[in-house]
Amino acid sequence: MATELHETARALVAEGKGILAADESTGTITKRFDSIGLESTEENRRTYRELLFTTPGVEEYISGVILYDETIRQSALDGTPFPKLLAAKGVIPGIKVDEGAKPLAHAEGETITEGLDGLRGRLEEYYGLGARFAKWRATYTITDSLPSEYCIWTNAHALARYAALCQEANIVPIVEPEVLMDGTHTIERAYHVTSRVLFALYTELFDQRVDVAGSLLKPNMVLSGYEASNRAGIDDVADWSLKCFYKHVPAAVPGIVFLSGGQSDKDATAHLNAMNAKGPHPWQLSFSYGRALQAPTLKAWGGKPANVEAGQRAYYHRAKMNSAARTGMYAPELEREAVTA
C-alpha cells in the first residue's frame, strides 16, 4: 500500500504538471456563475466541468483534478463517469472530503474544519468511485493577535487525523493549511504565522504516524496582506516562502502544490516561477489552482455553447503557463505570444 501511495503522490507532482482544483462547493460555484450571468443548475455545473475535463491536450500539464461530491458522481454527455474520463486521459481523480470551516468554539473570529465524523466510510466509497487522492482545507486569519495557538493546533490535529484515515484507505492526502492573506499585514508577519502553522501541522502528522512521503502539502504562499500599502514584490515572495518551507517541510514530502488564494492568475504563475527559478529544491514545487486556472476559462466561455472551444483554449493556456512556471521558464512575454497566436 505504501508503494502505491508514494507512486500516486509522485505522479501528482510529475515534471511540468500540476493539479486543477475543481472542487468548488455549490455555493462557491454559484457565485462564479453569477459573475457570468449563468444560473447554477446541476446540469450547468456538469456542462462546465465537462468543458474542463475534455479540453484537448491539457493532460500534458494537468496531473490530477480535485472533484466535489456532486462532480465525482456525474458523467459526460456520452455517459462516461467523470473519474473514468479523467483516468483514461492519464489524469488522476481526487476528492474534497472536508465539510467546510465552521466557527471555533471559544475563539472569536477563528474557524475549525469539520468532516471527520464518518470519514472512514466516505473514503472507502470515494475510492470505489475512482478517487486516488483527497483534500482537506483548514483556514487561519491573520491579525495582530490571530491566529491563536488553540486554532493552530486544533486544525493541525484534524488535518493529521484526516491524513491518517486517507492513507488507511490507500488515498493520498493533500493537507491544506491556508493562512488567509486578507488584511494589511506585512510579509514578515505572514512568514511568522505560516511558520507556526506548518510547525504544528508536521508535529501532528508525525505524532499520528502519517507517512509524509505518501502525502502532499497545499499551502499558501507567503505574501503581504492584500490590503497592505506597501506589498512585497515577486522576488521577496519567493524568498520568504522558500525560507518558510525549508525550515518546516520535510524533504521526504514529494511535493508542495500551492493554492492561489486571492492572487490574480498571472501573479500566481509569476510567484511559482520565481520559486522554481531559485531551485532545485528537496520537493517538487507545483500548483493546485482553482480560480487562477478557471477565471479566464469562465470569462471566455460565458455559459454559451458556442464558446466552449474558447473556454477550453483559455484553460489550456493557463495550464501551459503554470507548467512553464514549474521549470522557472515562465515569462510575461509568453502571455503576449498566446494573445497574438
Question: In this structure, are residues 171 and 206 in contact, taking their beta carbons and an 8 Å threshold?
Answer: no
Specify whether 89 is catalytic. Answer: no
Q: What is the pLDDT along the chain (341 residues), one digit of tens a residue?
A: 679 999 999 999 999 999 999 999 999 999 999 999 999 999 999 999 999 999 999 999 999 999 999 999 999 999 999 999 999 999 999 999 999 999 999 999 999 999 999 999 999 999 999 999 999 999 999 999 999 999 999 999 999 999 999 999 999 999 999 999 999 999 999 999 999 999 999 999 999 999 999 999 999 999 999 999 999 999 999 999 999 999 999 999 999 999 999 999 999 999 999 999 999 999 999 999 999 999 999 999 999 999 999 999 999 999 999 999 999 999 999 997 654 44
Tell me which of 17, 96, 135, 218 is the catalytic residue.
218
> Is 218 considered catalytic here?
yes
Smallest CA-to-CA distance from 9 within 258, 164, 216, 211 is with: 216
CATH architecture of 2-340: Alpha-Beta Barrel (3.20)
Q: Which residue has the cell 493556456?
A: 317
Q: For the whole prediction, is pTM greater than 0.75?
A: yes
Residue of 24, 176, 178, 204 with catalytic role: 176
What are the angstrom distances between the C-alpha of 67 and each of 83, 218, 248, 298, 327?
9, 16, 29, 17, 26
pLDDT per residue over 148-198, tens digit each?
Answer: 999 999 999 999 999 999 999 999 999 999 999 999 999 999 999 999 999
Q: At a CB cut-off of 8 Å and minimum separation 6, what does 195 contact?
A: 244, 247, 248
Residue 278, exposed/middle/buried by CB under 10 A (0-12, 13-18, 19+)?
A: middle
